[in-house]
A and B are shown apart, each in its own frame.
Chain A
């Protein structure tokens, strides 16, 4: 029948697979294989120079492990049962190069060779087999390099071996109580393998070893480490073995240690296995539970927060759009009113300038001469004024469009309308009427001249008749001619004035007509522009609002969906967690009390 711990372990492995933790799974499988292996690995650890190798030697009554005053052990040495003594070095994890197999008598030699060879590179561990009753039951003693040595490779190999141990003997010598480094080591060991016995060595050397043992016990109790403490002396034991002195053997403390090994390790392999499995499995489950628990709390917080914040953002943007759309309409109205009044003023200014020019011209010139030219000039000027003015209008309109667009909350490619102009714009204004020009014909001139000369002839004829001259004489005729000429001149001057006035009036009328017509056109275009801009932007705003509202709606939906999804996952997670916690409780019942774990 499979032991109960096997089920638990298998289940834990299953949980590791479900939670996709191949690393934990591999570790547990290793432990499983190791626990199913009938061999019992007892690891001897401690700081350097505490007498670990000597302890192994004394336990077996054979100098299998090299001892020395300097750092001696450099690789883990596995000592196990064999019918004939043999030794081997393991070079790499895979390639196991057996260097020699030798019979009993020469055991000292190979062991020395083992140590010598062990310092060579790539040697991972040494394996020694000797026939001993102690090892019969499948016990394997593992001597390790000292921890805390300056050459850290040694320490690393010790910790690597620690993972395979079923039980641990922590060695500390009696020259001093457990140091803080040793306590740290002890706690580390407890994490990987809970079956620890502290062995206090070298009690032969220290007169006050009893007080050291007492202090160590107090230290262990204070740290809450449930480890047994056994004082021994390897030197006495080896000597007793040599002389066969039973009393010395008892003094060495080894009988107690051996009994302890027999009772607590060999005989209670099942308990050890349960405890070891309990520790490993519970550490694995704790590792599974931690992320799961975090995930559960995570659900409550981060993801929902994200969706809610999306929703809030969408709503905020809708509000923003509303606020801004009021603003852009105001901007459009104000700007367009400004624009039209500015453009009108500009047009009036331009036409006035033209009129002043016309006045100046016809103060001097005679409209009768070159009217056609004048007409052309006036037409050109008015056209230019209109074009410039209109171009300005367009420019301003585009600027207004840009300004309004700037007040929009989002940027889009088609934000500024392509064309805001009405198509049929400038209709030509009415033709300039030609003013009435009275010509000053020859008969009229003659008549006017005669009328003027009549007075002169008469006036001077009467004066000269007093002097006895006839009425018509040379003087009166000369005066008549003079007066006639004057009259003609006066008359033609007056006519010119009249013509000029008429021309001015005609120009004035024409310009007025032009102004009225064109300003109407400009106003119309302005309004047209305003209308088309308003249409354009309000369409845009509507589209935008629709988009935003849609995104807000979808965010709201997402929040609702999330809630359902979360609840579902929460339920699942809780179920998983509960399962793990149950498993953990089962693991706990395997071996003694351990740390609490709650859902």
Chain B
């Protein structure tokens, strides 16, 4: 039985055991419901780090940020509900404020939760939760299956938050739910034109950092404003930017030296200061610099420019990361959340007849192959377990560190047909079996090889 079926049946069983406790039943029902939903991703970080900006960039629409937990989930038409205290949620309108959407929560100052249903492609596979910066790790992770953690440079506070996120014993055995984001990548590079590639390098360094690596699956850098711009660039803005780039390079550079200069009175072009101010607010000084440079380089249509911006802003990488680490691992993430929920339940309301379920829980956590794979990924990446030479990279690929698709696991960079994949898989299987049986290898290496072999065997039926 696969992990998600096992966990599903455990939830059902728990429902039967706890049928006389209303609180437990409500808890389990909510988790059963959650089990079938898309992955819930919380976006967290310090204040003013750009959480809402990243959420907007992912959705592809701009929302006025709210001061409470804001959920964005897929829907056929725009709708919003406010959950405040006990009682039923009530629906509120989604209006517009300038070019941005605004959820009219009105006089309700502190809602517990605002749920926005929005027709966006991204939201088909995920539910995004924008969190207030003062929320504690427990609050953030209580409802979420996965976490996007935003930071500028890794500071002690950030590490503390991530450690708190990994504090639970079950969370530790399956530390699979975090992607760290170096937000404001443009500011990291002090607004220079090459700021983004510099930020990417820093992200790469953190990926290898021993302090950071065990706490998250990946580190990516994103320039939030640029990413939003890429998704929501409007005709008039594009036109204005084109006009700007028509200016001589030197002259434009001079005027882009500082924000003050750009919106100042002595601007060589016939352009309203208000327009310039709006551009600055939307794209930042770095955004304006980069976009004008790109237009000058020949990305002079809106489509071309948008493509470039998505790639350069790091939004593409972020989306890939979400896909590889969260969407593709939906079952595991959901199973993990459900197991955590069951653990909470067993602790809160221990019962004699839940003994078997508690034992099951422990067994699943300890033995589920998906968790084992993830633990091995963590062990290999943190250097706790080392494999000789190329075996390390191959093992990481096979157990799904780069993606769980068979093609990715087997290392094909093109659409290989089933036969080809099968051959590659059998080849890998034989080699890893030999590795697992190698009596000279240290114990942990053989253990690791056994897990890889088990993975390969699991892939075989898919390639018939």
In the assembled complex, the Cα of A536 lies from the Cα of B212 at a distance in Å of 85
* B29 on interface, CB distance cutoff 8 Å: no
Cβ-defined contact, A251 with B258, below 8 A: yes
* B285 on interface, CB distance cutoff 8 Å: yes
In the assembled complex, the Cα of A47 lies from the Cα of B211 at a distance in Å of 19
Cβ-defined contact, B258 with A48, below 8 A: no
* B319 on interface, CB distance cutoff 8 Å: no
- Kindly specify which of A161-169, A202-210, A465-473, A482-490 makes contact with the partner chain: A202-210
The 9 closest A-B pairs by CB, nearest first: A204-B258, A207-B259, A69-B198, A205-B191, A207-B280, A70-B202, A148-B155, A176-B48, A69-B189
> Pick the contact of B190 from A148, A179, A181, A235 — CB < 8 Å?
A235
In the assembled complex, the Cα of A233 lies from the Cα of B191 at a distance in Å of 12
> Pick the contact of B258 from A149, A173, A179, A233 — CB < 8 Å?
A233
Cβ-defined contact, B190 with A51, below 8 A: yes
Binary B-proximity of A387-411 (CB < 8 A = 1, otherwise 0): 0000000000000000000000000
Per the 8 Å Cβ criterion, residues 45-89 of A in contact with B are: 47-49, 51, 54, 69-71
* B281 on interface, CB distance cutoff 8 Å: yes
Q: Which residues of chain B are within 8 angstroms of A49 by Cβ–Cβ distance?
A: 152-153, 188
* A519 on interface, CB distance cutoff 8 Å: no
* B199 on interface, CB distance cutoff 8 Å: yes
Per the 8 Å Cβ criterion, residues 234-265 of B in contact with A are: 257-263
Could you give 10 example pairs across A and B, Cβ below 8 Å? A49-B152, A69-B201, A70-B202, A175-B184, A175-B187, A181-B155, A205-B286, A209-B259, A235-B191, A236-B257
Cβ-defined contact, A207 with B201, below 8 A: no
> Pick the contact of B277 from A48, A202, A207, A239 — CB < 8 Å?
A207
Cβ-defined contact, A47 with B257, below 8 A: no
* A219 on interface, CB distance cutoff 8 Å: no
CB distance from B183 to the nearest CB of A (A): 11
Known: A48-B153, A70-B202, A205-B286. A236 touches B159 (CB 8 A): no
Which single residue of chain B is at the shortest CB-CB distance from A206?
A: B259
* B109 on interface, CB distance cutoff 8 Å: no
Binary A-proximity of B183-215 (CB < 8 A = 1, otherwise 0): 010011111000100110110010001011000
Q: Which residues of chain B are within 8 angstroms of A148 by Cβ–Cβ distance?
A: 155-157
Categorize the interface residue count of chain A: 20 to 34
* A301 on interface, CB distance cutoff 8 Å: no
Sample of 12 more A-B contacts, CB < 8 Å, known A148-B155, A205-B285, A205-B286: A49-B152, A175-B184, A181-B155, A181-B157, A204-B258, A204-B259, A207-B262, A207-B284, A233-B258, A235-B190, A251-B260, A251-B261
Cβ-defined contact, A150 with B277, below 8 A: no
In the assembled complex, the Cα of A209 lies from the Cα of B285 at a distance in Å of 12
Q: Which residues of chain B are within 8 angstroms of A175 by Cβ–Cβ distance?
A: 48, 184, 187
Q: Which residues of chain A are within 8 angstroms of B277 by Cβ–Cβ distance?
A: 207
In the assembled complex, the Cα of A322 lies from the Cα of B108 at a distance in Å of 82
* B154 on interface, CB distance cutoff 8 Å: yes
Binary A-proximity of B39-55 (CB < 8 A = 1, otherwise 0): 00000001110000000
Known: A150-B159, A236-B258, A251-B260. A71 touches B48 (CB 8 A): no
Cβ-defined contact, B191 with A204, below 8 A: yes
* A248 on interface, CB distance cutoff 8 Å: yes
Q: Which residues of chain B are within 8 angstroms of A203 by Cβ–Cβ distance?
A: 258-260
Per the 8 Å Cβ criterion, residues 414-437 of A in contact with B are: none
In the assembled complex, the Cα of A150 lies from the Cα of B156 at a distance in Å of 5
Q: Which residues of chain A are within 8 angstroms of B211 by Cβ–Cβ distance?
A: 150
Q: Which residues of chain A are within 8 angstroms of B198 by Cβ–Cβ distance?
A: 69-70
CB distance from B145 to the nearest CB of A (A): 27
In the assembled complex, the Cα of A175 lies from the Cα of B280 at a distance in Å of 14
Known: A150-B154, A176-B48, A207-B280. A202 touches B190 (CB 8 A): yes
Cβ-defined contact, A207 with B202, below 8 A: no
Per the 8 Å Cβ criterion, residues 427-482 of A in contact with B are: none
CB distance from B219 to the nearest CB of A (A): 13
Per the 8 Å Cβ criterion, residues 354-413 of A in contact with B are: none
CB distance from A58 to the nearest CB of B (A): 12
- Residues of A near any B CB (own CB < 8 A): 47-49, 51, 54, 69-71, 148-150, 173, 175-176, 179, 181, 202-207, 209, 233, 235-236, 239, 248, 251
Q: Which residues of chain B are within 8 angstroms of A47 by Cβ–Cβ distance?
A: 155
Cβ-defined contact, A70 with B201, below 8 A: yes
Cβ-defined contact, A204 with B285, below 8 A: yes
Which single residue of chain A is at the shortest CB-CB distance from B188?
A: A69
In the assembled complex, the Cα of A239 lies from the Cα of B192 at a distance in Å of 13
In the assembled complex, the Cα of A203 lies from the Cα of B260 at a distance in Å of 9
- Residues of B near any A CB (own CB < 8 A): 46-48, 152-157, 159, 184, 187-191, 195, 198-199, 201-202, 205, 209, 211-212, 257-263, 277, 280-281, 284-286
Q: Which residues of chain A are within 8 angstroms of B184 by Cβ–Cβ distance?
A: 175
In the assembled complex, the Cα of A175 lies from the Cα of B285 at a distance in Å of 12
CB distance from A150 to the nearest CB of B (A): 5
Cβ-defined contact, B257 with A204, below 8 A: yes
Which single residue of chain B is at the shortest CB-CB distance from A234?
A: B190
Q: Which residues of chain A are within 8 angstroms of B47 by Cβ–Cβ distance?
A: 176
Cβ-defined contact, A48 with B155, below 8 A: yes
CB distance from B266 to the nearest CB of A (A): 10
CB distance from B374 to the nearest CB of A (A): 24
In the assembled complex, the Cα of A49 lies from the Cα of B201 at a distance in Å of 15
Cβ-defined contact, A248 with B190, below 8 A: no
Known: A47-B155, A150-B211, A236-B258. A205 touches B201 (CB 8 A): no
Known: A179-B46, A205-B191. A69 touches B280 (CB 8 A): no
CB distance from A156 to the nearest CB of B (A): 13
Cβ-defined contact, A71 with B258, below 8 A: no
Which single residue of chain B is at the shortest CB-CB distance from A239?
A: B257
Cβ-defined contact, A207 with B155, below 8 A: no
Q: Which residues of chain A are within 8 angstroms of B263 by Cβ–Cβ distance?
A: 207
Q: Which residues of chain B are within 8 angstroms of A179 by Cβ–Cβ distance?
A: 46
Which single residue of chain A is at the shortest CB-CB distance from B285?
A: A205
In the assembled complex, the Cα of A586 lies from the Cα of B154 at a distance in Å of 46
Q: Which residues of chain A are within 8 angstroms of B152 by Cβ–Cβ distance?
A: 49
Q: Which residues of chain B are within 8 angstroms of A150 by Cβ–Cβ distance?
A: 154-156, 159, 209, 211-212
Known: A69-B195, A181-B157, A207-B281. A235 touches B257 (CB 8 A): yes
Which single residue of chain A is at the shortest CB-CB distance from B159?
A: A150
In the assembled complex, the Cα of A49 lies from the Cα of B202 at a distance in Å of 12
In the assembled complex, the Cα of A251 lies from the Cα of B280 at a distance in Å of 18
In the assembled complex, the Cα of A176 lies from the Cα of B280 at a distance in Å of 17
Q: Which residues of chain B are within 8 angstroms of A181 by Cβ–Cβ distance?
A: 155, 157
Q: Which residues of chain B are within 8 angstroms of A248 by Cβ–Cβ distance?
A: 257
Cβ-defined contact, B190 with A69, below 8 A: yes
Which single residue of chain A is at the shortest CB-CB distance from B194?
A: A69
In the assembled complex, the Cα of A257 lies from the Cα of B201 at a distance in Å of 33
CB distance from B151 to the nearest CB of A (A): 11
In the assembled complex, the Cα of A248 lies from the Cα of B152 at a distance in Å of 29
In the assembled complex, the Cα of A382 lies from the Cα of B54 at a distance in Å of 120
Cβ-defined contact, B205 with A70, below 8 A: yes
Q: Which residues of chain A are within 8 angstroms of B159 by Cβ–Cβ distance?
A: 150
Which single residue of chain A is at the shortest CB-CB distance from B186?
A: A205
In the assembled complex, the Cα of A207 lies from the Cα of B191 at a distance in Å of 13
Cβ-defined contact, B153 with A71, below 8 A: yes
Q: Which residues of chain A are within 8 angstroms of B153 by Cβ–Cβ distance?
A: 48-49, 71, 149
Which single residue of chain A is at the shortest CB-CB distance from B152?
A: A49
Cβ-defined contact, B187 with A205, below 8 A: yes
Which single residue of chain B is at the shortest CB-CB distance from A210?
A: B260
CB distance from B28 to the nearest CB of A (A): 39
Q: Which residues of chain A are within 8 angstroms of B195 by Cβ–Cβ distance?
A: 69
In the assembled complex, the Cα of A51 lies from the Cα of B280 at a distance in Å of 22
Cβ-defined contact, A69 with B156, below 8 A: no
Which single residue of chain B is at the shortest CB-CB distance from A180?
A: B157
CB distance from B162 to the nearest CB of A (A): 11
Q: Which residues of chain B are within 8 angstroms of A233 by Cβ–Cβ distance?
A: 258
In the assembled complex, the Cα of A98 lies from the Cα of B156 at a distance in Å of 35
Which single residue of chain B is at the shortest CB-CB distance from A179?
A: B46
Q: Which residues of chain B are within 8 angstroms of A176 by Cβ–Cβ distance?
A: 47-48
